[in-house]
Amino acid sequence: MVVKRGTNDGQIVPMARYFRDHFDGQVMLRFIEYMDVGATNGWRMDEVLPSSEVIERLNAHFPLEPLEAAAPGETAERWRYRDGAGEIGVISSVTRAFCRDCNRARLSTEGKLFLCLFACHGHDLRALLRGKGACTDDQIRSAIGAIWQDRGDRYSELRGAMAAEPGSGSRRVEMHYIGG
C-alpha cells in the first residue's frame, strides 16, 4: 500500500486488519512511503506520511515488534505482530534512505538497465545482446558488473540538497517505464 497523507492514510489500520484476518499470516502487507518517482505524479513532501507514523498507528491497534532483515539489501523494515498473526513491512525511501545498501536494478522493455527507481538514464544492454558481434555471456556479465561497480545513484539520500538547487536535477524516469 503506497501511503499518501490526506488521501488514504485513514486506511492503514483497516488494510492491516484485512490482511491479518484473511491471509493467516501468509501474506506480508508492505506500507510504502509516497515517492517522487518520475515527474508526473505531482509529488509533494507534505503528502508523505513517514513510515515511523505508520508503525505508531499500527502499534496502537496491533502491538508490533521489529524483526531482523531477512536478506542483505532488503528494502522493507519488517515488523511482527506480537500475537503471532503475521508481519508487515514498511519501505521508507523518502524519510530513511537506504541507497548505500540497495542491491536492486531494473531492466526496461527496451533493454536499458536502471540502477535506481529515481534514475535519469539507463545503461543500454540491448546493444551488448543484439549489436554487431553480440557479446558472450561472460562479456555481458562483466559489463553489468562494471556498470554496477561504477554506480553513483543516491537520489533518496540527496533529495533535500537537490530540491534546494533549482534546475539541479534531470528528469527522472517514470516508474511505469521501469516497473516498481
pLDDT in tens, 116-132: 877 778 899 998 888 77
Q: Is the pLDDT of residue 62 over 50?
A: yes
Residue with cell 558488473: 145
Instruction: Clarify whether residues 86 and 119 are in a common domain.
Output: no
* pLDDT tens digits for range 25-37: 899 999 999 987 7
Residues 43 and 66 in one domain: yes
Q: Say if residue 87's pLDDT is above 70.
A: yes
- The verdict on residue 98 lying in a domain is no
Q: What is the mean pLDDT of residues 35-43?
A: 76
Q: Quick one: 12 and 87 in the same domain?
A: yes
Contact between residue 13 and residue 81 where contact means Cβ atoms under 8 Å apart:
no
Q: Which of 69, 91, 113 is the last residue of a domain?
A: 91
**What's the pLDDT at 101?**
77
Count: domains in the chain: 2
Query: Is residue 96, in this structure, part of any structural domain at all?
Result: no
Domain shared by 77 and 111, yes or no: no
| Residue 59 or 167, more confident | 59
State whether 40 and 113 are in the same domain.
no
- Structure confidence at residue 61 (pLDDT): 97
Range of the domain at 15: 2-91
Rama region for 137: left / alpha / beta (φ>0; ψ in -120 to 50; rest): alpha
Catalogue the E-assigned strands of the chain. 2-3, 29-33, 64-66, 77-81, 87-91, 106-107, 112-114, 123-124
Same domain, 128 and 73: no
Give the residue, 166 or 176, on which the prediction is more confident. Answer: 176
End-of-domain residue from the set 91, 115, 150: 91
Q: Residues 87, 132: one domain?
A: no
Backbone angles phi, psi at 171, to 5 degrees: -70, 125
